[in-house]
């Protein structure tokens, strides 16, 4: 296992003074001047109570939405002003999502679900399936490749979703409450898998409100009322 | 997304909700089936008439007297049959003469109740000339034309209650008993003979005192020379007064029948079109609901990198495939209905491929039209809102 030396690290995610307002009377300011930076190979927990702006932050760093003000750069590319086509391409190539509700398509088996992540990157079908099979092996679900989501346990479904997030080898994996729908034991298994992927070199941001999960991460960013309250890096063990 | 991935992605929603897919496609299927069946049945009926014509031949001409200057009908000259037979392309000709007599089953039935059956004197060549066939017995020949023998037309036979020759039936014609020697099959090109009984010229002259002037001459010509024969027929029949002769071609009536029924077909097609439009609205409706239900799928696909265009294409293709499924099913259904109906009628099955093509093409267009609005709505969903259920 190789971990990139600090000198080689470069910023994957950069947020400078990001403001996000939602229209309304009065307008809701979900993010209020956030500066946030993630470099390659990092594992970061973003914590905060509900309403602190976690979801909005996820939308910003996942290129699902554009900021009202400030600058979001993903892999060095500025999100603001990108047309839909290029923004979509940025998501396809640079970001892997893991959702609380898994968001697997029930009509497809595990392998096809994982392969769908490569569909919008113009990868040929056979290559998609080959790489999806590898990703499923990586999360320990090679034997469940042809099961559909309803036939899988919650933990297995989240592993399939993680395989889908990493199959395209994205610059950053965004996990939004990945254990939120799981019991604590399978939740721990999923977090172990996240850490394993991190050791293997993936850059991962985990959004959670679970303090115990955050405590086990090398870096924790605390969000409150749309601002970063604290940003602590644990002393490496 | 590669173009080759589009059908699979576009059909995913249909494969997932099969019952809904089937019911929605049914609307289009019924419309297309109705239209294909209407076109197929009317075309099969036409094909059958034309096949009948082909078999009967269009080379039979019928010569009858017209009205003279005083509006009176005068029979054809007695010399007419001989003259007509001398026209080179004429293959055969047969004269008939209506006899003013009634025909009854027995002498116990009052003469008023003759059942509208005509008595016709004829030459033995008639059968070959009109292409007739006998369902029982024999036709008149040179010997039997001199005796009280009679051949019954098909309808005349059933009105007289005689279906076969068992027991040597006799009928009572103008005060004389005639032995029934044959019964004819229906003759499509000489339907008037179906309602007639045929006796020999010789016996008719002897018993009823008619002269040699025929009331009708039927002429079978060389199929390639029908028009040229037709052109000279009047003058040949009655050189003194060719204007008093009317020449018709009985097959023309059948051909005209093949051309009619257009307005009914148009009406039924219109009804099919209404069903089709209703089916199209159904598709649009179901697609709108589908887009609402599949918000998170849309959000997920956007998160995985689908562009607005990708999402639009997915839902548009889904609507088109749905309509296409209905269209193909409908075309098959319409063809089956046509086949069953045509078989029951004893027709040859004829389904114009243009009707099938138009049906499938129409459903495609309808699906595309019905899919535009839902597809645009799906593409317009903001990815962040779609993926996080509110």
Cβ-nearest to B300 among A65, A103, A125: A103
Domain end position, chosen among B223, B248, B273: B248
Q: Could you tell me if B168 lies within 8 Å of chain A, comparing CB atoms?
A: no
Q: Could you tell me if B19 lies within 8 Å of chain A, comparing CB atoms?
A: no
pLDDT for position A14: 94
pLDDT for position B305: 94
Pick the residue from chain A with its C-alpha nearest to B390: A55
pLDDT for position A235: 60
A150 lies in some domain: yes
Q: b/e string for A145-164 if b means 16 or more Cβ within 10 A?
A: bebbbeebeebbbbbbbbbb
Give one DSSP letter per residue of B144-161, joined into a string. GGGTTEEEE-HHHHHHHT
Domain count, chain B: 2
Nearest residue to B248 via CA among B195, B194, B189 = B189
* Between B76 and A46, the higher pLDDT residue: A46
Give the single-character DSSP code of B5.
G
B253 lies in some domain: no
pLDDT for position A17: 94
- CATH number for position A204: 3.40.50.300
B5/A125 CB distance under 8 A: yes
B22 lies in some domain: yes
Most B CBs within 10 Å, among A22, A28, A59, A64, to test the B interface? A64
Task: Report whether B314 contacts B3 (CB < 8 A).
Answer: no
Shared domain for B172 and B265, answered yes or no, is no
Task: Report whether B261 contacts B348 (CB < 8 A).
Answer: no
A60 lies in some domain: no
Shared domain for B68 and B49, answered yes or no, is no
Shared domain for B90 and B215, answered yes or no, is yes
* Alpha-carbon gap, residue A94 to B146, rounded angstroms: 109
Cβ-nearest to A121 among B300, B305, B309: B305
**In Å, how far is B383's CA from the nearest CA of chain A?**
6
Q: Could you tell me if B300 lies within 8 Å of chain A, comparing CB atoms?
A: yes
Task: Report whether A204 contacts A216 (CB < 8 A).
Answer: no
Burial of residue B228 (number of CB atoms within 10 Å: 0-12, 13-18, 19+): middle
Instruction: Look up the domain containing B270 and give its range.
Output: 3-53+259-387
Task: Report whether B356 contacts B40 (CB < 8 A).
Answer: no
A167 lies in some domain: yes
pLDDT higher than 60, residue A223 = yes
CA B115 to chain centre: 30
pLDDT for position A84: 93
* Alpha-carbon gap, residue B150 to B153, rounded angstroms: 10
Find the largest Cα–Cα distance for chain B: 107
Q: Could you tell me if B302 lies within 8 Å of chain A, comparing CB atoms?
A: yes
Domain count, chain A: 1
pLDDT for position B48: 82
Domain end position, chosen among B192, B226, B248: B248
pLDDT for position B52: 77
Q: Could you tell me if B303 lies within 8 Å of chain A, comparing CB atoms?
A: yes
Q: What value does the mean pLDDT take over residues A178-204?
A: 93
Find the largest Cα–Cα distance for chain A: 53
B324 lies in some domain: yes
Band of pLDDT at residue A4, cut at 50, 70 and 90: very low
Shared domain for B232 and B86, answered yes or no, is yes
Shared domain for B312 and B269, answered yes or no, is yes
Shared domain for B210 and B278, answered yes or no, is no
Percent of chain A with pLDDT over 70: 95
Shared domain for B230 and B170, answered yes or no, is yes
User: B260 Cβ partners below 8 Å, 6+ apart?
Assistant: none
B17 lies in some domain: yes
**What pTM was estimated for this model as a whole?**
0.74
pLDDT for position A110: 96
Residues of B in contact with A124 (CB under 8 A): 2
Nearest residue to B207 via CA among B99, B132, B66 = B99
B387/A117 CB distance under 8 A: no
pLDDT higher than 80, residue A2 = no
Pick the residue from chain A with its C-alpha nearest to B303: A91
Residues of B in contact with A122 (CB under 8 A): 1-2
CA A184 to chain centre: 20
User: B177 Cβ partners below 8 Å, 6+ apart?
Assistant: B148, B170, B171
Shared domain for B179 and B236, answered yes or no, is yes
A107/B301 CB distance under 8 A: no
* Alpha-carbon gap, residue B329 to B335, rounded angstroms: 10
pLDDT for position B69: 64
Interfacial A residues in 16-55 facing B (CB < 8 Å): 55
pLDDT for position A219: 95
pLDDT for position B235: 86
Instruction: Look up the domain containing A140 and give its range.
Output: 43-51+85-233
B86 lies in some domain: yes
Shared domain for B70 and B162, answered yes or no, is yes
B181 lies in some domain: yes
Question: For each of chain B's 390 residues, which pLDDT tens digit applies?
Answer: 888 899 989 999 898 889 999 999 998 999 999 999 988 888 888 888 877 777 777 888 888 887 766 666 778 888 888 888 888 898 989 999 989 888 888 888 776 666 788 999 998 989 988 888 899 899 998 888 888 999 999 999 998 888 888 888 999 998 899 999 999 999 888 888 999 999 998 899 889 888 888 889 999 988 888 888 888 888 888 888 888 888 888 888 777 776 766 777 788 888 888 888 988 999 999 999 999 999 999 999 999 999 999 999 999 999 999 999 999 999 999 999 999 999 998 888 888 898 899 999 999 999 999 999 999 999 999 998 888 765
A142 lies in some domain: yes
Shared domain for B45 and B116, answered yes or no, is no
A3 lies in some domain: no
Burial of residue B223 (number of CB atoms within 10 Å: 0-12, 13-18, 19+): exposed
Residues of B in contact with A125 (CB under 8 A): 4-5
* Between A210 and A204, the higher pLDDT residue: A204
Task: Report whether A47 contacts A103 (CB < 8 A).
Answer: no
Shared domain for B68 and B180, answered yes or no, is yes
Q: What value does the mean pLDDT take over residues A21-48?
A: 92
A10 lies in some domain: no
B254 lies in some domain: no
Q: Could you tell me if A106 lies within 8 Å of chain B, comparing CB atoms?
A: yes
Cβ-nearest to B2 among A107, A122, A164: A122
How confident is the model over B285-342, as pLDDT tens digits? 999 999 999 999 999 999 999 999 999 999 999 999 999 999 999 999 999 999 999 9
Cβ-nearest to A91 among B297, B303, B388: B303
């Amino acid at each position: 296992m190789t971990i990139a030396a600090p000198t080689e690290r470069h910023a994957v995610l950069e947020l400078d003074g990001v403001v996000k307002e939602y229209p309304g009377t009065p307008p809701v300011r979900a993010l209020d001047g956030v500066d946030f930076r993630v470099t390659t190979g990092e594992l970061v927990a973003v914590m905060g109570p509900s309403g602190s702006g976690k979801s909005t932050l996820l939308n910003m760093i996942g290129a699902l939405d554009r900021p009202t003000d400030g600058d979001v750069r993903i892999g060095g590319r500025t999100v603001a002003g990108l047309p839909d086509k290029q923004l979509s391409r940025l998501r396809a190539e640079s970001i892997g999502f893991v959702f609380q509700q898994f968001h697997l398509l029930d009509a497809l088996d595990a392998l096809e679900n994982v392969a769908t992540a490569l569909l919008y990157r113009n990868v040929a079908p056979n290559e998609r399936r080959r790489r999806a099979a590898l990703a499923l092996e990586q999360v320990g679900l090679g034997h469940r490749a042809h099961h559909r989501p309803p036939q899988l346990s919650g933990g297995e479904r989240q592993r399939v979703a993680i395989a889908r997030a990493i199959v395209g080898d994205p610059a950053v994996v965004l996990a939004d409450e990945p254990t939120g729908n799981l019991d604590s034991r399978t939740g721990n298994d999923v977090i172990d898998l996240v850490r394993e992927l991190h050791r293997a070199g993936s850059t991962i941001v985990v959004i959670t409100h679970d303090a115990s999960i955050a405590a086990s991460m090398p870096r924790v960013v605390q969000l409150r009322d749309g601002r970063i309250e604290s940003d602590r890096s644990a002393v490496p063990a | 997304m590669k173009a080759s991935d589009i059908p699979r992605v576009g059909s995913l929603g249909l494969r997932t909700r099969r019952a809904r897919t089937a019911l929605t496609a049914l609307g289009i299927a019924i419309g297309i089936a109705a239209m294909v069946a209407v076109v197929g049945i009317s075309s099969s009926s036409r094909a059958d008439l034309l096949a009948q014509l082909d078999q009967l031949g269009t080379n039979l001409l019928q010569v009858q007297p017209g009205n003279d200057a005083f509006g009176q009908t005068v029979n054809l000259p007695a010399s007419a049959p001989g003259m007509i037979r001398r026209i080179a392309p004429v293959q055969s000709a047969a004269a008939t003469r209506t006899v003013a007599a009634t025909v009854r089953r027995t002498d116990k039935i009052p003469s008023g109740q003759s059942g509208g059956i005509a008595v016709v004197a004829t030459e033995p060549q008639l059968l070959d000339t009109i292409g007739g066939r006998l369902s029982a017995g024999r036709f008149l020949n040179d010997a039997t034309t001199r005796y009280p023998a009679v051949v019954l037309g098909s309808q005349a036979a059933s009105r007289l209650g005689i279906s076969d020759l068992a027991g040597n039936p006799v009928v009572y014609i103008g005060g004389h008993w005639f032995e029934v020697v044959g019964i004819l099959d229906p003759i499509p090109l000489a339907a008037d003979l179906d309602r007639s009984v045929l006796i020999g010229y010789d016996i008719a002259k002897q018993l009823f005192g008619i002269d040699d002037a025929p009331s009708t001459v039927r002429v079978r010509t060389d199929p390639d020379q029908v028009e040229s024969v037709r052109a000279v027929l009047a003058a040949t029949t009655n050189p003194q007064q060719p204007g008093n002769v009317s020449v018709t071609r009985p097959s023309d009536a059948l051909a005209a029948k093949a051309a009619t029924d257009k307005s009914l077909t148009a009406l039924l097609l219109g009804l099919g079109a209404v069903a089709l439009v209703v089916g199209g609205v159904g598709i649009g409706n179901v697609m709108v609901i589908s887009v609402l239900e599949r918000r998170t799928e849309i959000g997920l696909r956007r998160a995985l990198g689908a562009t607005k265009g990708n999402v639009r294409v997915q839902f548009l293709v889904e609507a088109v495939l749905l309509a296409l499924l209905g269209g193909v099913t409908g075309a098959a259904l319409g063809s089956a209905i046509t086949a069953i109906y045509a078989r029951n009628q004893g027709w040859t099955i004829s389904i114009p491929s243009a009707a099938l093509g138009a049906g499938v093409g129409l459903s495609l267009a309808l699906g595309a039209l019905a899919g535009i609005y839902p597809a645009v709505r799906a593409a317009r969903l903001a990815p962040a809102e779609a993926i996080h259920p509110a």
